[in-house]
Each structure stands twice: as structure tokens, then as C-alpha cells.
Amino acid sequence: MAFRGKNAVVTGGAGGIGLQVARQLLAAGVAKLAIIDIQDNLEEFVKLRSAHPTQSVMIIKMDVANKKGVEATYEEIKKTFGNIDIVVNVAGIFNDKDVQRTLLVNLGGIINSTLSALQYMSKENGGNGGIVLNMSSVVGLDPMFIIPVYGATKAGIINFTRCLGNDKFYQRSGIKFATVCPGATMTDMFTNFTEKIIFPETSDETYKILDRLSKQSATDVARCMLNVLEKEKNGAVYVIEGKRIIPLEIKPLWTGKEPAL
């Protein structure tokens, strides 16, 4: 994919990995960029606009868990941009103690944003097609006992995105889908980590696990995510670890599945 002249949307773009993705997309030459986030980060948004004065940067404060709000947000983006070519869904939280909120934001938010975007990106509806990249996590692939709720949402993202990354759907819509699963990354999401886990008695062991993890920067993850967008491989799932993207071969386990499904 050539980014120059394209229109992109990033959810969770006010900080962390999402902000770095927004920076990378602007540096790569996207014409118009919309950032959807419930958080404010005025200082960084001013920097983005001043660094890219000839490109349009649209900021929309919205909770991705709000289905109707997200639908209205994409309608606004469509009216302003004319078309949408790229969607990168990064928005997410960590708080296993707040189960409903974690489910609504992490999995519900990805679904809300993706399905809302399809209405305007699909060639069946007059769109140009494009690509949707959804961010999951390595804990959506391999269970980690200390974060079962967060891990469940990330596993759901992988399956949801793989379901849509179907060649027959692509032939109709012109939209490709991919999933990235970053390893441990240095962001503010896991601040006060042990206060948000559902098994506080494991806090000592949790700290030991966190200390042992090899951590990467949000900037490195964002660079890898743009690499994935460039590859445009429909239905692909990648691990991001140590500044590298590692494609996964996920083999079917259900032997009775009909090919048409």
C-alpha cells in the first residue's frame, strides 16, 4: 500500500501506540487523518498539526464503546474526508476488575469501529475499499493467568478480524483485514497494574513476571504496524516482537468445517 494521498482513521490515537501510529501515517504522507479517542492530548495534537501543516488532522473525542456515537463519528469523517482508505484500531484499556468496561472497550470498541468503517469503505456501498488493521496482543494467542479478562478480549479481536479477512468478502467489499499482536510494550496502559488484576494474591508473582518481560517501545510497534499495512495480506495475523513482525500460520482445528464458511 502507498500511503501518500490516502485518508486514514486511528482509534486510541491520543497516546501510546495509537499516537505513534498517527505520527507514522502522517510522516508516510496520508492526506487526511482522523483520530478517535476518549482522551484529550491537546499538546500532542498541536504538534501533529504543526509538523504536517499541509495535511488534515481531525480530532474526535468519542468512547469507542458507544456504538451509536462511533457510527455518527464515521458518518462525520466520511462527510469531511470524502472517503476512508485505512482504519487502524488501537483503542483499549486494561482493568480486569472492571469486566464489563474491558469487554465493551477492547472487543466492543474494535467491533464498533470496524463495522462502522465498512459502511463507507465497502465498494458495495460506493467506497474505494481499503484495509482495516486491528491491534490484539500476544496474550490473545497464549494465555497468561494473571490477566484472563484482558486476554479474552484480545483473543476475540483475533477471531473477529480473521472472520472478516475472507477472500470472498474481499471480492465483494474490496476491504482487507489484518491483526497485529504486540508483545510487552512500554505504555501507560499498565500503570498500577496490580491494582487492576482480579487475583491480588498473585501480585508478588505478577511483578516478577513483568520485570522479566522483554519490552519494546510504542514507536517500534507503530513502525511494524505500518509495515503490516504495506503488506496488505488479507486475514494475516502477526506477532510484533523486538522490532520485527512475525507472520503466524494458524491452522484449522475444526475438521468438519465447510470451505464456504
Catalytic residues: 150
- Residue 181's DSSP bridge partners are 239
Alpha-carbon dihedral angle through residues 118, 120, 122, 125, given to the nearest 10 degrees = 130
Asked if 116 and 131 touch (Cβ cutoff 8 Å), the reply is no
Beta strand spans in 52-141 (E): 56-61, 86-89, 130-135
Give the Cα separation of 178 and 94 in Å (integer): 22
Asked if 114 and 74 touch (Cβ cutoff 8 Å), the reply is no
Give the Cα separation of 16 and 217 in Å (integer): 9
Phi, psi of 89 (to 5 degrees): -95, 110
What is the residue whose three cell numbers read 499498565?
Answer: 190
Asked if 30 and 13 touch (Cβ cutoff 8 Å), the reply is no
CB count, 10 Å around CB of 218? 21
CA neighbor of 38 nearest in space, from 58, 15, 21, 22: 15
Asked if 133 and 139 touch (Cβ cutoff 8 Å), the reply is no
Give the Cα separation of 231 and 228 in Å (integer): 5
Give the Cα separation of 32 and 108 in Å (integer): 26
